[in-house]
Structure 1
Amino acid sequence: MQATGGSVSRVRLVAEVAGKGSAECELVRHLAPLTTSALLKGLPVQDRVHRLEDKFVYIETGLVIGAEKAKTQFKRGDLAFLPSNGAICFIIKDCTTQAMNAIGKIVNNMEIVEDVQTGDVIAVKKL
């Protein structure tokens, strides 16, 4: 299946960092179908950024979704959902971390996400 905006299995999103720019992301349904469906229904979401060391930045969504195909190894540019606090995580460095649901990738402007500071606001919405 082709990875286009009209694809059913891949959904394009944009993560807008207030006053700094935006990064294009892609949700990949087969990685965690229940999680991605719940996220899509809950969009748009917006919150202040939190950082976990230099591994990832995240925003809380308020969504309650359990673990689904959870894994602990992530690569720079991955998107994950952290069930323990309902957060969308933007992985900024290859890492091993607590179990999270893999949900997609950041497809461009990765540096916008890497440069966010605690307290910046990220809004995630459909493209």
Structure 2
Amino acid sequence: MSVSRIRLTLELKGKGRCECEFARHLAPLTVGSILRALPIEGRAHRYDGLFIYMETGLAVGREKQRDEFKRGDIGFMVANGAVCIFLKDIKGMMFNPLGRVVSNMDVLESTSAGDVLLLASA
């Protein structure tokens, strides 16, 4: 594991888990805040079939924001302090970039209301 790329697991409780990789250079303050808060557990929410998200309770400002993400990318929504996993390519909404899902993305496709997500160190 390198200092700049951090392996994490994202578990959809009772349904499976996937591996993620955060890249510190994308948004160092945001990534650092999330890593210090691990493990983070919360209810999964869906947004228009575009992404799923989990609120973290973290207050982080805008950092190196982008408005274009691909399926499997992970971003941070500043407005509600949520980690978002993109299920489809998306353009036009601003997020702090965090990294991407590197394995088992299919597990997240089956997310439904009330499911619990757990983000933890690999």
TM-score by length of 1: 0.94
The answer for the alignment partner of 2:32 in structure 1 is: 37
**In 1, Cα distance between the equivalents of 2:23 and 2:112?**
27
2:46 is equivalent to residue 51 of structure 1:
yes
2:87 is equivalent to residue 92 of structure 1:
yes
Aligned to 1:83, which of 70, 78, 99?
A: 78
Q: How has the CA–CA distance of structure 1 residues 47 and 32 changed in structure 2, closer, same or farther, with 3 Å as cutoff?
A: same
**Matched residue SS, 2:35:** helix
**Matched residue SS, 1:24:** strand
Aligned-residue identity in percent: 46
The one-letter code of the counterpart of 1:95 is I
CA RMSD of superposed structures (Å): 0.7
Q: CA deviation at 1:97?
A: 4.0
TM-score by length of 2: 0.98
2:65 is equivalent to residue 65 of structure 1:
no
**In 2, Cα distance between the equivalents of 1:97 and 1:78?**
15
The superposition leaves residues 72-109 of structure 1 with CA deviations (integer Å, 9 ceiling, x where unpaired) of 11100000000100000000000114210010000000
**Matched residue SS, 2:75:** strand
The superposition leaves residues 47-74 of structure 1 with CA deviations (integer Å, 9 ceiling, x where unpaired) of 0111110110000000000010111111
Aligned to 2:18, which of 23, 40, 45?
A: 23
The one-letter code of the counterpart of 2:4 is S
The answer for the alignment partner of 1:3 in structure 2 is: none
The one-letter code of the counterpart of 1:77 is G
**In 1, Cα distance between the equivalents of 2:11 and 2:54?**
12
